[in-house]
Structure 1
Amino acid sequence: MADVVLTRLRRLPAPVPIALVYVAARVVTTLFLIAAADLSGPASRFGPDADLGTLVLGWDAQWYWYVAVNGYPTTLPLTATGAVAENQWAFLPVYPYLSAAVGAVIGSWGAGAVVVSLAAGYGACLALHRLLRRRLDPAAAMWAVAFFAAGPLGALFQVGYAEMLFLFLLLVALERVLARRYAWLYVLIPVMGFTRPGILAFALFLGLYGLWRLRRRRVEPLPPREIVHIVALGALATVVGFAWQVIAAVVTGDPGAYLATELAWRRNWLPDAHGGFIPFEGFVTASQFWFRTWGLPSALGPIALVGLVAATAAVLLRERHVRRLGVEVRLWSASYLLYLLAVFFPQSSTFRLLLPLTPLAGAVAAPRSTAWRVAVLVVGVTLQWWWIYNVYALAQTFWQIP
């Protein structure tokens, strides 16, 4: 039945069925958020009087609002122990200021933020469909959009977070690479780079993509014009990736301002963490921390981490449904995962930070069994409620941070 409905929807121009799926998913998410607000109690950070507006502007949305209202500090705030405290430099400027511009027209920053997220989310659905249609049949591409729109992180489509805006830009950029049309990337890369952290992963992706194209140039010609674009865009992404650190250093007079700010959040889990940033150290330390927290020998953490990395690499290299998505999607996925491994301390926000791997939804949708697809959709919606219930209804402990 579900496939019959999708077949009929496919006869319409793609934006129409995607809009129908998207609106239906947003209705479900809205109902979940309203239910979470009703369940919010005295122990929750949102309190017993929470409502829909309270939730959609909670957590990091408050930081984005604070950026829009107050800008960035010229002097880094310090904790009682003299360490750099959490501050606005961890939040890039495109989303808060774009939300402020939209909000100035429709009445408030919060309304602007939700509109930007909703519009970017629909754009991301369109871009995902266009990207996957280059490798998958129409039904699989539409199911992937449904998994994305109604998946476990569905709340991010309509709260004051920059994820959807970044993802929209990213999916458009990836599709342009697949199309071998690079001009728009000169605009997309700087905007992405000042929307959310992650543009250095795109720089790595472009480097790997260039090497792959060079290796197979006898199969697919690599004209000089494309070489120039790939090299120039990789250089641009690298420069943009470090630009915010330079800007923070110039404004505050502290060369390590940005990294120190990012590390301030790590002290929520490791209060005695006062060292500087060391690539890949966060994941190793976290593996030990979480195993110890779970009552397991901390020495097993790094071993489990190596196993997880090996298993992930095997999936990207060998799993047949992932391979169907094309080398470009696999290279991006590997690049982004390596970037996370280098810079991130895994905790409850890990699920949110995995959102740029959304193109892999095509691999989940690729099997043609309707029963499989319906089951995946049901599981996704169920997990969405579980996520919303924890981070918005309960919102009590360190593992309930979105």
Structure 2
Amino acid sequence: MAELALSTARRWARTPTAARIAIVYLTARIVTTTLLVLAALQSTPLSRFGAAPGLADFVVGWDAQWYWTVAEYGYPTTLPLTDGGEVAENAWAFMPVFAYLAKGVGLVLGSWGAGALVVSLVAGYLACLALHRLLRDRIGRSAAMWAVVFFAAGPLAAMFQVGYAETLFLLLLFLALDATTRRRYALLYPLILVMAFTRPGILAFALFLGLHGIVRWVHRRRDQLSAAEVVHIVAAGALAVVCGFAWQVIAGIATGDPGAYLATELSWRRHWILGGVDGFIPFEGWVQASQFWFAQWGMPQEWGPVALVLLVTAVGAALLYSPQVRALGTDLRLWSASYVLYLLAVFFPQSSTFRLLLPLSPLWGALAVPRSRWWRWGVLGLCLLGQWFWIYHVYALGNTFWQVP
């Protein structure tokens, strides 16, 4: 038995990295498909998907319907309004790249849903390859492979198999982070352009590039910084900022309402805030949400902001002092801090919070750094348990706004 295990380990070690990741990814997709089938069997007429839905229903469910709407009908030139005269939910909240790419692939396969599934699956595999490349020189090939395992089988693994833009965005993000850490700045321009119109988040990358440039400037004597690199960092950062606000400008021009995009985004927040939302104020969403959730849990509302401060402090301490996180290197820590700050500034934490945390996936590497075998298998077990919990509540039971993935 020991000889067989040793022989298997040797064959696995000789297998090309891309093939090993393919095996991991395929196995993870089989597990996720099994969990989705179980969720379908437990779905009831009270669920959004009805009794005994098919897997295709899950692919085009929830926000995937908005991407389908964009692909089929484009964006409204007149903003829809609620009975109270406020801007209603509409397609301007969803970027065009994934929607139209899925449509193009779907023209060959026969439906938008089929195209969306293939785009998500292929982008997910390529994202696994990119994540391994991003981490391997920092934490070693074995730990990087375990990080890919956690990523591919994590609690939000259903995103690899539904019509959401997440895996495509993650692929572009990992490639952009890798290009930055390897100082191949010229590659950032096309990646930023596509990433900016795939899903929100490019402003976080702009902040990351700014911090990356500052760190390189501070350490320029022992880490040479050329004039060409300075130009690239500044230009790429400026491009990310421009692209970060471009969609608001496009929505404003198309609708004739300069505040069209922000009003659209805030239309989802009204489900959560009693009395509605007057306008967008950076960082206000998390304060409001902390009070909302503490009230929901039967605790004093004023405890919410205190808990929020403690949470932010804990995350900051982990990024600064945790040896496992420090092993990932300065750039990945800067990206994580930039994205967390971006979420704090613009997001209202609700049912989509865990999905919005996916761009922090390089942090899987911190859980994969050399530890005991039992630790890694334990993390994987928690990933699978979390995956089932999420799929069950979102797809088997999902029927209201607080169960939107």
TM-score (norm 2): 0.97
Pick aligned residue for 1:368 from 360, 367, 371: 371
How far is the alpha carbon of 1:271 from its aligned partner?
A: 4.5
> Residues 269 and 277 of structure 2 are in contact (CA less than 8 Å); yes or no, is this contact kept in structure 1?
no
Distance between the aligned counterparts of 2:6 and 2:143, measured in 1? Answer: 10
How far is the alpha carbon of 1:5 from its aligned partner?
A: 5.6
Q: Secondary structure at the match of 2:387?
A: helix
TM-score (norm 1): 0.98
Which residue does 2:250 correspond to in 1? 247
2:104 partner letter: A
Distance between the aligned counterparts of 2:46 and 2:9, measured in 1? Answer: 43
Write the mapping of 1:172-251 to structure 2, written as runs, cut at 5 A: 172-251=175-254
Pick aligned residue for 2:261 from 258, 273, 283: 258
1:269 and 2:272 correspond:
yes
Q: Secondary structure at the match of 2:185?
A: coil
Which residue does 2:147 correspond to in 1? 144
Task: State, as a whole percentage, how many aligned pairs show the same letter.
Answer: 65
Distance between the aligned counterparts of 2:242 and 2:22, measured in 1? Answer: 36
Residue deviations 1:143-178 (CA, integer Å, cap 9, x gap): 000000011011000100000000000001101111
Distance between the aligned counterparts of 2:274 and 2:22, measured in 1? Answer: 45
Distance between the aligned counterparts of 1:192 and 1:3, measured in 2? Answer: 43
Distance between the aligned counterparts of 2:220 and 2:381, measured in 1? Answer: 43
1:400 and 2:403 correspond:
yes
Distance between the aligned counterparts of 2:371 and 2:32, measured in 1? Answer: 27
1:127 and 2:126 correspond:
no
Q: Secondary structure at the match of 1:135?
A: helix
Which residue does 2:99 correspond to in 1? 96
Pick aligned residue for 1:77 from 77, 80, 88: 80
> Residues 40 and 54 of structure 2 are in contact (CA less than 8 Å); yes or no, is this contact kept in structure 1?
yes
Distance between the aligned counterparts of 2:311 and 2:173, measured in 1? Answer: 25
Q: Secondary structure at the match of 2:186?
A: coil
The size of the alignment, in residue pairs, is 402
1:342 and 2:345 correspond:
yes
Q: 1:159 to 1:7 in 2, by over 3 A?
A: farther
Distance between the aligned counterparts of 2:363 and 2:33, measured in 1? Answer: 25
Write the mapping of 1:157-176 to structure 2, written as runs, cut at 5 A: 157-176=160-179
2:206 partner letter: A
RMSD of aligned Cα (Å): 1.3
Distance between the aligned counterparts of 1:314 and 1:172, measured in 2? Answer: 27
How far is the alpha carbon of 1:368 from its aligned partner?
A: 2.4
* Runs of 5+ consecutive residues of structure 2 not aligned to the other structure: none
> Residues 202 and 335 of structure 1 are in contact (CA less than 8 Å); yes or no, is this contact kept in structure 2?
yes
1:44 partner letter: S
Which residue does 2:305 correspond to in 1? 302
* Runs of 5+ consecutive residues of structure 1 not aligned to the other structure: none
Q: Secondary structure at the match of 1:392?
A: helix
> Residues 151 and 157 of structure 2 are in contact (CA less than 8 Å); yes or no, is this contact kept in structure 1?
yes
2:103 partner letter: A
1:56 and 2:56 correspond:
no
Pick aligned residue for 2:159 from 146, 156, 160: 156
